[in-house]
Every structure is written in structure tokens, then in C-alpha cells.
């Protein structure tokens, strides 16, 4: 089976965007692909001191465990897929360094997401945030992932991953020396890295902020009111939907340029995957905002209820989650070490005696 790798940063409680745009899309992939789903805690710490993570390490610990539990609650089956915590596999950090040393600065200077974050954070931007795409390349290349399900915002980082893989292979994995070395160490002789392909998640799965229909819902938005968390209790969801931003047009469907309206309808359809989208639109066409909002809130609550219930079960069963992460981490370490061993050897590091 072709391999897939994807992950979410434990920078907060997971929200509807993470669920609709990532988690729920992963579930059906489990039958077609050999999947690695990772909680990318090493990425989470790239946020500098202005971020809530730095206020308490309890945050990182709890969000890491709750994210992993939500993977399972949302339908990732630990029997089919590998669920693990990134920092449990030290090969991520090590390969990241090896790739850092082969990466020209000019390639990093082109990264749009860093430029944007730097523009908004100023001096609070750390070195880790700058080199973040190299760590992401290491994540992907360690497992020889053929496909990487990502949002449009990650396309450039995936392109960088391909460039880094090609550069490393060209620089270190051609020539007879390399083949001889591999044979002497009983390692495969093909180039170390596979160039991955992006699997861009479909457009409808992009969820926007409840307070601004033009920016995406995200964990790092300081306003709790901007997002619905997967674990929000029903009353909190009702309140957030009630207060969310809307517009002054009559009716909730139709007319161009209505980012908030479009977003709420997108959410309404996404949480009712078994209903026909056209029929859904017809059913709310004649409503005003005051009528639509409670209907939307109930649909979201109903969709999240079974996930919340499973989440409680996963967290409640003594030792279960730890066992899943232990097994997942062991399997991931096995795969990753093999790649790392070859990368080290190709660069000329003396193998461990
Ligand atoms: P942060 O603000 O810390 O970056 P985030 O909410 O952007 O958090 P990530 O951990 O960066 O979440 O992303 C995890 C996954 O969720 C990625 O696959 C990303 O494409 C997806 N994702 C994040 N936000 C949304 C959204 N609003 N709509 C759809 N998918 C999203
Ligand atoms: Mg993000």
C-alpha cells in the first residue's frame, strides 16, 4: 500500500476546521493507504513567547494527549493506522538537522508562510519558525510517504520537501561509492529519499473564522469566539453560533461576496454528510439569520456528539491511549531509523559500532 503521513500541531484544542479539513478526510484513507498520523509537538514549540504554549507546559502535554485521543474518536483506527507523537521519534529532530545543513538559505527565504507570520509577529519570531519547513520535510521523508494530505497553504512547503529530497539524493546517493557503502552495510542501494506528492484537500473543507469570514478558523486565533472546538459542550456551541458574525442581506443563500454566509452554509452541509447538499440549501432558503442559527447549532452539536462520547471513552480507559501511542511510536521508530541510518551513511558519518 502507498504510504501517507499527516499531522496536527498540539497548539490548542482541535476545532471544526481541523476536524472537517483534516481528521474526517483521513478516515477513509485508511483502507487505501498505509497511514502514519502524527501529533506534531516539535512543530508546536516553534511558537515564540507571545504564545499561550509558553505560559505552561501543561498546555502542550494536555493538548498532545487530547489530540491523539481525538484522532481515535474521529475514526482513526489504531489497528489500521499508526498513531504516534512526533517527539517520541528522535529521528525527526536528527534528520531535520542533516537536511538543514544541505538546504540553501535562499530556498528558505522564499517561504511565504514565514514572511506572513514574521510580518504579523515582528521580533517574536524564532529561529524554529524559520526552519519549520525543513522539519516538515524530515517528517515526510523519514517514512518514504508517497502522498501527503495538506491544505493549499502547505503546497509550497511540500515543494520544498521535494527539492530537498532531490538535492540530497543527487549530492549523496549517486556514484559507485554510495552503492558499495550500502552493500557493505546491508542497506538498500536506491536513493535515500522518495519525492512525495501533495494530496490537496478539497476546497469545501476549508472552514473560516466565526468572527471574520475572510480568515481561516485556527487554534492560534486569540479569540475563543472565532472557533468551535470539537470538544465544546452543546451550550458553548449554541452561544458561539448565536454570536457569530453575519451580514445584513436578506436570506442566507445567494448573492456574491458574503464570506460569513458562505462559511456557515459550508459548515451546515459538512456536518450533514448524508444529506443531499441541494436539498439542504432548499430547506434553509427562506430562513433569516435568527431562524437559521439555532438550526445550524443543533446540526453541529448532533454531528459532534458521538465523537465527544468516544473521546470520553478513550480518555477514560486506564492505559489505553498510552498503549496506542507506545505501539505507534515503536512502529514509527522502526521505519524512521531505517531511513535515518541510510541518510547518515550516505553523508559519510561513521556507523555506530
Ligand atoms: P495553528 O493556528 O496553531 O497553526 P491550525 O488550526 O492552523 O493551528 P494546524 O495544526 O496548523 O492547525 O493544521 C492541522 C491540519 O488542519 C492541517 O491539515 C490544516 O490544513 C488543517 N486545518 C487547519 N485549519 C483549518 C481550517 N480552518 N479549515 C480546514 N482545515 C484546516
Ligand atoms: Mg496552522
Q: What is the pLDDT of residues 140-170, one digit of tens each?
A: 999 999 999 888 888 999 999 999 999 999 9
Catalytic residue from among 147, 219, 240, 293? 219
**211 is a domain residue:** no
Percent of the chain predicted with pLDDT > 90 = 78
198 and 230 share a domain? no
Q: What is the CATH number of the domain that holds 179?
A: 3.40.50.620
Residue 73: closest CA among 273, 320, 327 = 320
For residues 245 and 121, membership in a common domain is answered with no
Summarize the confidence of residues 310-333 as an average pLDDT: 98
* Residues 207 and 3: beta-carbon distance below 8 Å: no
Determine whether 117 is an active site residue: yes
Report whether pLDDT(196) > 90.
yes
Measured distance CA(134)–CA(340) in Å, rounded: 15
Expressed in angstroms, the distance from the first to the final Cα of the chain is: 34
Q: Which domain holds residue 90?
A: 3-205+318-347
- 136 and 155 co-located in one domain: yes
- Ligand 1: which atom is nearest the Cα of residue 216? 27
Q: What's the pLDDT band for 200 if we cut at 50, 70, 90?
A: confident
Looking up cell 549530492, which residue turns up? Answer: 171
Examine the domain organization and report whether 150 and 71 are in the same domain.
yes
Ligand 1, residues at Cβ distance < 6 Å: 8-9, 11, 17-18, 21-22, 150-151, 205-207, 216-220
CA–CA distance, 18 with 96 (Å, rounded to integer): 25
Q: Is the residue at 352 inside a domain?
A: no
Q: Which residue has the higher pLDDT, 205 or 343?
A: 343
Complex ipTM: 0.99
Work out the pLDDT band at 55, boundaries 50, 70, 90: low
Give the Cα-Cα-Cα angle 20, 60, 315 (nearest 5 degrees). Answer: 65
Better pLDDT: 204 or 289: 289
Distance CA 236, CA 58 (A): 23
Neighbours of 113 (CB within 10 A): 14
Q: What's the average model confidence in pLDDT over 242-260?
A: 88
Number of domains in the chain: 2
Tell me, yes or no, whether 114 lies in a domain: yes
Q: Which of 1-10, 56-65, 87-96, 322-331 has the lowest mean pLDDT?
A: 56-65
Instruction: Kindly identify the ligand whose nearest atom is closest to the C-alpha of 14.
Output: 1
pLDDT at 266 over 60: yes
pLDDT at position 345, please? 92
**What is the DSSP annotation of 181-244?**
HHHHTT---S-S-PPPEEEEPPGGGPPBPSS-TTSB--TT-S-GGG--BTT--HHHHHHHHHHS
Same domain, yes or no: 101 and 64: yes
Is the pLDDT confidence value at 258 over 70? yes
Give me the pLDDT at residue 150, please. Answer: 85
Q: How large is the average pLDDT for residues 131-136?
A: 97
Whether 327 and 290 share a structural domain = no
Residue 41 included in any domain: yes
Average pLDDT value for residue range 219-241: 96
Whole-number pLDDT of residue 153: 82
pLDDT in tens, 3-51: 999 999 999 999 999 999 999 999 999 999 999 999 999 999 987 555 5
**In a shared domain, residues 75 and 179:** yes
Residue identified by cell 456574491 is: 256
241 and 330 share one domain: no
As beta bridge partners, residue 36 has: 5, 82
User: Residue 142: inside a domain, yes or no?
Assistant: yes
Shared-domain flag, residues 287 and 325:
no
Give the lowest-confidence range in 50-54, 55-59, 313-317: 50-54
Q: Which residue has the higher pLDDT, 124 or 305?
A: 305
Does the annotation count 219 as an active-site position? yes
Residue 219 lies in a domain: no
Pocket residue to mutate for ligand 1, from 6, 10, 19, 21, most atoms within 8 A of Cβ? 21
179 backbone dihedrals φ, ψ, rounded to 5°: -65, -40
Q: What is the domain-level CATH number for residue 260? A: 1.10.240.10
Amino acid at each position: 500500500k502507498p504510504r501517507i503521513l499527516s499531522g496536527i500541531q498540539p497548539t490548542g484544542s482541535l476545532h471544526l476546521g481541523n476536524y472537517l479539513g483534516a481528521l474526517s478526510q483521513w478516515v477513509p484513507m485508511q483502507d487505501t493507504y498505509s497511514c502514519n498520523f502524527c501529533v506534531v509537538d516539535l512543530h508546536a514549540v516553534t511558537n515564540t513567547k507571545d504564545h499561550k504554549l509558553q505560559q505552561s507546559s501543561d498546555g502542550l502535554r494536555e493538548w498532545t494527549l487530547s489530540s491523539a485521543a481525538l484522532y481515535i474518536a474521529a475514526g482513526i483506527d489504531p489497528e489500521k493506522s499508526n498513531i504516534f507523537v512526533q517527539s517520541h521519534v528522535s529521528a525527526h529532530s536528527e534528520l531535520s538537522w542533516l537536511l538543514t545543513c544541505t538546504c540553501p538559505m535562499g530556498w528558505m527565504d522564499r517561504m511565504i508562510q514565514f514572511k506572513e507570520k514574521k510580518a504579523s509577529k515582528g521580533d517574536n519570531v524564532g529561529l524554529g519558525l524559520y526552519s519549520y519547513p525543513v522539519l516538515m520535510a524530515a517528517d515526510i521523508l523519514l517514512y518514504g510517504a508517497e502522498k501527503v494530505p495538506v491544505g493549499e497553504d502547505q503546497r509550497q512547503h511540500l515543494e520544498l520537501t521535494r527539492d530537498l529530497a532531490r538535492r540530497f539524493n543527487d549530492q549523496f546517493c549517486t556514484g559507485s561509492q554510495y552503492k558499495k557503502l550500502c552493500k557493505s552495510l546491508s542497506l538498500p542501494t536506491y536513493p535515500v529519499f522518495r519525492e512525495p506528492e501533495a494530496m490537496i484537500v478539497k476546497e469545501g473543507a476549508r472552514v473560516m473564522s466565526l468572527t471574520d469570514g475572510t480568515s481561516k478558523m485556527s487554534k492560534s486565533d486569540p479569540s475563543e469566539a472565532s472557533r468551535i472546538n470539537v470538544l465544546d459542550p452543546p451550550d458553548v456551541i449554541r452561544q458561539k453560533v448565536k454570536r457569530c458574525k453575519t451580514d445584513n442581506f436578506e436570506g442566507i443563500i445567494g448573492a456574491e461576496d458574503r464570506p460569513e454566509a458562505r462559511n456557515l452554509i459550508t459548515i451546515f452541509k459538512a456536518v450533514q454528510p448524508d444529506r443531499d447538499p441541494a436539498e439542504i440549501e432548499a430547506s434553509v432558503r427562506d430562513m433569516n439569520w435568527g431562524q437559521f442559527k439555532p438550526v445550524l447549532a443543533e446540526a453541529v452539536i448532533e454531528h459532534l456528539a458521538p465523537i465527544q462520547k468516544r473521546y470520553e471513552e478513550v480518555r477514560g480507559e486506564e492505559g489505553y491511549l498510552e498503549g496506542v501511542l507506545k505501539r505507534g511510536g515503536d512502529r514509527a521508530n522502526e521505519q524512521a531509523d531505517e531511513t535515518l541510518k541510510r541518510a547518515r551513511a550516505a553523508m559519510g558519518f561513521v556507523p555506530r559500532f
